[in-house]
Structure 1
C-alpha cells in the first residue's frame, strides 16, 4: 500500500534548530520542513556536517528575510587538537602530518591574541566556494588543489580555554565568511605544531542564540500543535532594525509599494501597521521610507 501523499501548507515563522552531528544543513532543513509540512523553507547559513548548533530555519514569508542573516556576525565554540594536521582541517580528514607539541599556556594565549581583529584567511579547499562552476570540495576529493585568494574577515572576540597541553577550546565571535577550521589551522601553524578541529558548535547567528533552540529528535516526539510552539514570529530575524508603526493611510500606501514620510535619516526599518502586524522592511531613500521587502497581506502569524 502506498503512503498517503503529503499535503504541504503555508507555514510562516522562524525555527531555531539545533543541528545534529553528521547531518548536512540541507538535510536538516528538509527534515524540519517535513515535520512542519511547510510548503517553503530555507536556512540562513550552512553548517558543515561535522558542526552542530544553531541553524535558523525560515518557513514561508520568513524566507524573504533569511538573506539578511547571511551577512550577520556569528559565534562558535571549537575543540582544537594541536600536533596533527588533516586533509580537511577537521577530524573527518586523513591525518597528513604529526608534530610534537611543546606549547605552554602562556604561548597559546599569546598566539591566539594575534588573531584578534581584522585578519586575512585563505579559504580551505574543502569548502563550498566554486571555481569554474565546481565546488572546491569536489576538486579536493579528486586530489586537485587550486590557488585561492585571501579574504578579509574580522575576529571580534577570541579566547582559548581548557588547555591540557594538546587540546583546547576556542571561543570565537566573528564576521561572516570566517572559516573556523582555517583559524584553528593558522593558530596551529603559528605555534609550530599544526592543528585541526575536533568539533565545532555554532552558538549565535546575528541576534539569535542557541537558547530556545530545539533538536530534530525533540520535534519528532511532538504532535504537530506542539511543534508550532517552537516557531518564532516573522520579525525574529529583524530585531536589529528600528521599528516604525504606520497609521492607516500611510499603511495602505506602503503596502501597495509606495513611499511614506519618515523621521529616519538612513538605513532600513521593520514596518508595522497600527495593530502591530508586520508589513515588511522599508529602506530610507531620498528622505522617504520605501518598501524594500513586503509580506503578502494574507500571511498568517506564526
Structure 2
C-alpha cells in the first residue's frame, strides 16, 4: 500500500536482538553462543504473510538461512501479502533495480465505507449507499489508467522534516504534502460482489503507486466511497508470485533444499541486454577498467565472463566503451559459479 522504501539491509549483530542467545551448559552468566552465519548470494522470492512487516519477514528469513547479509526490496504493509524479493549478499548490489521496477497487485475494495487511513484497519468514518453496476465500475477504473497524480496518504512512511507521515497522523496532525505523478498501466476487474460490495481488481503500475489511495479515489468517483480491504503483490518487474515460497515451507526444508531456491542476482536484470567478455577482458572489467566494445550504446547492460554462469555485474555502453556500474568481487563471482 505504501510506496517502496529504500532497501532495508537487515544487517544486525550476529545474535538478533529479538532472540535470546543460547548459553553454554544452560548456566546463568555463561558465555553466549553466537549463531553461525553463512555467506550466501542470491535472491529468494518470499510470499510475505499478512500481519508481518516487511522487515519482520526479512529477519525471519535471515535467521532461517543463517545468512550474514540480507535485505528486501519494496516494502509491503503488514495488511498486504505476496511477492517480497529477499536479496542475499552480492544480490543486494542490484536491489535498486527491483525497487524501480513496475509492480502488479491484486486488490479488494470495500465500497460504501470510508475509513481512517484508507484500509480495513482504520475506523469507519463515513458510510454511503452503493448504487453501481459493472459498467459503472469499469468506467471508474478506466478513469485512473495512464499517468495520474496521487496525494500520498497521511498513513504512509514518507517523511516530512525527518518524521514519517504516519507519526503525524497518529498524533492527529495533517501536514501538507505534494502530489506525485504515477502511471497505472492497467486496471482489470476480476470480480464484483453486489451483496457484500467487494470489488477485486488487478493493477499494473509504476513504483510508488499507493493502492489504498487508488481505492479511495475509485470510491469517490462512484459516489459511495471505498477503502482497501485486501492487497496482494503479484509481480515486481519480471518476478512473479507464481514462484514464491512461504515461511512455513522454508521452515520445513533442510538447508540444501532452501539454498536450491536462491536465484542468481542477474534475474533482476533479465530485461537488460547481455554483454559477454572473454577471460582477459572479464578480468579487467572486474577491476573497473573501461573496455572498448563493438556494441551500440545502452544505458544499462548485464555483463558476463566466458563461462555461461559467470555473472560479473552491470554497466553501460557510451561511445563504444563498456563502463562498469555495479561489480561483483572475484570471490562473489566464484561463489555464484559454484552454487
TM-score normalised by length of structure 2: 0.87
* Counterpart residue number, 1:22: 51
**Residues 7-86 of structure 1: matches in 2 within 5 Å?**
7-86=36-115
**Residues 263-278 of structure 1: matches in 2 within 5 Å?**
263-276=295-308, 277-278=310-311
RMSD: 1.1
Q: 2:234 aligns with which of 203, 214, 217?
A: 203
* Counterpart residue number, 2:243: 212
- Hey, what's the Cα distance between the residues in 1 that align with 2:167 and 2:246? 30
2:242 aligns to what SS in structure 1?
Answer: coil
Q: Deviations over 1:241-282 (max 9, x none)?
A: 111110122112211111112213121111111012011101
* Counterpart residue number, 1:286: 319
Unaligned runs of 5+ in 1: none
Comparing 279-288 with 6-15, which one deviates more in the overlay?
Answer: 279-288
Unaligned runs of 5+ in 2: 1-21, 24-31
Superposed structure 1 runs of 4+ greater than 3 Å apart: none
1:7 aligns to what SS in structure 2?
Answer: coil
* Counterpart residue number, 2:275: 244
- Hey, what's the Cα distance between the residues in 2 that align with 1:238 and 1:6? 33
Q: Contact conserved, 2:297 with 2:319, CA < 8 A, in 1?
A: no
- Hey, what's the Cα distance between the residues in 2 that align with 1:243 and 1:113? 37
Q: Deviations over 1:49-85 (max 9, x none)?
A: 0000000000000000001111100000001100001
- Hey, what's the Cα distance between the residues in 2 that align with 1:161 and 1:66? 31
Aligned residues: 302
Q: Contact conserved, 2:107 with 2:201, CA < 8 A, in 1?
A: yes
* Counterpart residue number, 1:115: 144
Q: Deviations over 1:59-114 (max 9, x none)?
A: 00000000111110000000110000111111111111111111111111111111
- Hey, what's the Cα distance between the residues in 2 that align with 1:94 and 1:257? 55
1:146 aligns to what SS in structure 2?
Answer: coil
Deviation at 1:4, TM superposition (A): 3.6
Higher relative contact order (CA 8 A, sep 6+): 1
Q: Deviations over 1:156-212 (max 9, x none)?
A: 011123112211101100001100000000000011111001100000000100112
Q: 1:170 aligns with which of 201, 216, 219?
A: 201
- Hey, what's the Cα distance between the residues in 1 that align with 2:254 and 2:190? 41
TM-score normalised by length of structure 1: 0.98
